[in-house]
Amino acid sequence: MAEPKVTLDLARGLGLTAEEYDRIIARLGREPTYTELGLFSALWSEHCAYKHSRVFLRRLPQSGAHVLQGPGENAGAIDIGDGWAAVFKIESHNHPSFIEPFQGAATGVGGILRDIFTMGARPIALFDSLR
């Protein structure tokens, strides 16, 4: 089976912008293969790179007296006093949620719980809906 022809329309269909497609060509020094385009679209997706929400995430405190764990780990943690910490997590399963809403949301919820547990915390609330 022949791979589809790599075009800007194909790149857009994979969630890449025209600027990102041009950046791929510039970095590779040539047109990407179909497989390479798929890899870039995954790596530069909201789920992996937070390309749309990064601007908002940067506004959150990343260090300070009460910040126990800032960006870069599984979840963030802040000191709430008396030896207690609050651990927070968001998940970005946009694509599976769009294609299969219930299963995508369940995957997202599972990722949130996993990352809370890996920080040594116990979840007490979850504000993610499976609807």
Question: Residues 52, 66, 93, 95: which is the catalytic one?
Answer: 93
Length reported for the chain: 131
| Residues linked to residue 79 through DSSP beta bridges, in sequence order | 85
Q: What are phi and psi of 6, to 5 degrees?
A: -80, 120
Catalytic annotation on 93? yes
- The CA distance from 23 to 17, in Å, is 10
Is 47 designated active site? yes
- H-type alpha helices, the chain: 8-13, 18-28, 34-43, 46-49, 54-57, 94-99, 101-118
Residue 32 parent element (H or E): none
Residues identified as active-site: 47, 93
